[in-house]
Structure 1
Amino acid sequence: MTETELLLSLIDDKLRKCEDGYMLTHTHFLSLGERSSAMAHLKNRYPNHVFWGGYPDAERSVLFLLPEYMEKDDFSLEDEDDPLCLVRVRASSAKLTHRDYLGALLGLGLERSVIGDILVGEHGAEIIVMKSISDYLIANFEKAGSASLKITVDSIKNLEPPKIKTEFIRESVASLRLDNMLSAVFGVSRSDAVEAISRGMVFLNDTEATKPDARIAEGDKLVLRGRGKAYFREQSGTTRKGRLSVLFEKYI
């Protein structure tokens, strides 16, 4: 079985447990690609589900399958039922990067699937993880790179979502095709945009994009792995050369 097939089989097992046991079930952390596969798999068979990674717009998220008595709009968990927790890290060096923290965690023998977003700050980081590994981290997560670490474990509810910084970018495009829009907002060539789509590196509204000629609408969310995230905000008229004037809001 492929990794995607294994994931979908796991989701089916969780879904059966949810329906048969009339209980909330969940997966491990999913990447953007895994989330896209899960969304497509559940779209018509079980709409009563949510993705949550500890804060709005988290890149890595857990799939929660809700029993019939739970509404998506009312989804919330008490601390004792929440499978996620927050690890606060204080580092002796302020130069640690996302890669440093992730490398240290994987170096402890942990799977990527138990680690969510890593939010790097000036003096350390806040790391969202599965609660099941919190005791192990307390005992073993002592260094990242050459820096010593001090960690505490907190409720995920005490996480302050990162402040989002964006910039508005106005560009002109020949059309609202996906490859044109990626090229404009992320500064890549159109051929590179097409290649990124073919390699599964592009996500449109959290779903993996497969067609370079897909038409983009106002409000759509674009993600290019390794380049960032942006929203298409508006199309306002045409230039003298007949190109479309478009406005993006890009995360920085």
Structure 2
Amino acid sequence: MSLYQHFRREEHAFVDQVLDWIETVRTEYRPKRTDFLDPRQQKIVRTILGTGDVLASFSGGAPDAERRRCLLYPDYFLPEVEDFDLAAFHVDYPLKFETVTHSQLLGSMMGIGLVREKFGDILISEEQVIQLLTCGDTADYVQQQLVQAGKVPLSLKRIPLDELLHKQEPETERTVTVSSLRLDVVLSEAFHLSRSKVKPLVQNEKAKVNWRPVTDPSMQLEEGDMLSLRGSGRVRLDRIEGETKRGKIRINIALIGG
């Protein structure tokens, strides 16, 4: 059976990249550090490695980090925190007079020329304390260039990793029945929206599957997929439990953050 059969077609390029990383570790017998990976990419790395001779560790600065850098290494190597080359920042801004959203900060970081893989989680507490993670090799650049989000002035202060906020999003589990595993059908059921409303949102890149924008409402989902719909939230498809007597599909989902 081909390795690629375990993954969606759009993931094959990343699978090739992982295979290249593994080959580098094997042939050069040295560690290989990646940029930040989303949870789906981390799962792909673990799946490909299996129980082979190349090992992997992940770190995003805190135990509950979502986006993490991966360190692939031979069995002689013992990873240390410093090997992940992470930089953490506290974001100062006029808190009493302004608010800064996750999307504003994300847009500003992309606006200074950073690709998404170069920074990790953006943490915002209920009290509007903001922290962010970057790769160490881009830290100085980010500190110099990230001076505003929208019209709000920003100032970044480097902080140790042990001062990072905890990212604990509540989850609400539900068991629902759907007519199919189409993306628009599951989103409609999860967020109590009509399919006629969900479909154009997906077509206009307002939805993501496993942290990647999608435009096909008929995309077939699988167990473990993380879905998001702009303005509604995130939901994870935990289990496909089988068909009901009426031919519908029973699934278990987890609403993230609510």
User: Which residue of the other structure, out of 210, 223, 228, is the alignment partner of 2:234?
Assistant: 228
Contact 1:221-1:229 at 8 Å conserved across structures:
no
Q: Deviations over 1:217-243 (max 9, x none)?
A: xxx6441133413364897xx89x897
User: 1:239-250 to 2 correspondence within 5 Å?
Assistant: 248-250=253-255
Q: Is the aligned partner of 1:158 residue 2:160? A: no
- TM-aligned CA deviation for residue 251 of structure 1: 1.0
- CA distance 1:15–1:248, change in 2 (3 Å): closer
User: 1:1-252 to 2 correspondence within 5 Å?
Assistant: 7=14, 10-31=17-38, 34-35=41-42, 38=45, 42=49, 48-56=55-63, 58-69=65-76, 77-78=80-81, 80-93=82-95, 94-121=98-125, 122-173=127-178, 183-187=188-192, 201-203=208-210, 221-226=224-229, 227-230=233-236, 232=238, 248-252=253-257
Q: 1:163 aligns to what SS in structure 2?
A: coil
Aligned counterparts of 2:249 and 2:12: Cα–Cα separation in 1:
41
Aligned counterparts of 2:136 and 2:176: Cα–Cα separation in 1:
44
Contact 1:166-1:251 at 8 Å conserved across structures:
yes
Aligned counterparts of 1:51 and 1:178: Cα–Cα separation in 2:
32
Contact 1:86-1:156 at 8 Å conserved across structures:
yes
Aligned counterparts of 1:101 and 1:213: Cα–Cα separation in 2:
32
Q: 1:123 aligns to what SS in structure 2?
A: coil
Aligned counterparts of 1:57 and 1:85: Cα–Cα separation in 2:
16
- CA distance 1:213–1:14, change in 2 (3 Å): closer
- CA distance 1:14–1:56, change in 2 (3 Å): same
TM-score under structure 1 length normalisation = 0.67
Q: Deviations over 1:14-73 (max 9, x none)?
A: 334423444332111234565566556545866622444334564433232132135xxx
Q: Residue type matched to 1:225 in 2? A: S
Contact 1:90-1:123 at 8 Å conserved across structures:
no
Kindly, what percent of the aligned residue pairs are identical? 24
Q: Residue type matched to 1:229 in 2? A: V
Q: Residue type matched to 1:159 in 2? A: L
- TM-aligned CA deviation for residue 95 of structure 1: 1.6
Q: Residue type matched to 1:138 in 2? A: Q
- Structure 1, unaligned runs of 5 or more: none
Once structures 1 and 2 are overlaid, which stretch shifts more, 117-126 or 32-41?
Answer: 32-41
Contact 1:30-1:61 at 8 Å conserved across structures:
yes
- CA distance 1:12–1:231, change in 2 (3 Å): closer
Q: Residue type matched to 1:120 in 2? A: I
Q: 2:156 aligns to what SS in structure 1?
A: strand
Aligned counterparts of 1:6 and 1:53: Cα–Cα separation in 2:
23
Aligned counterparts of 1:68 and 1:157: Cα–Cα separation in 2:
28
Q: 2:154 aligns to what SS in structure 1?
A: strand
Contact 1:96-1:124 at 8 Å conserved across structures:
no
Aligned counterparts of 1:140 and 1:213: Cα–Cα separation in 2:
41
- TM-aligned CA deviation for residue 130 of structure 1: 0.5
- CA distance 1:46–1:60, change in 2 (3 Å): farther
Contact 1:164-1:251 at 8 Å conserved across structures:
yes
Q: Residue type matched to 2:147 in 1? A: E
Contact 1:61-1:116 at 8 Å conserved across structures:
yes
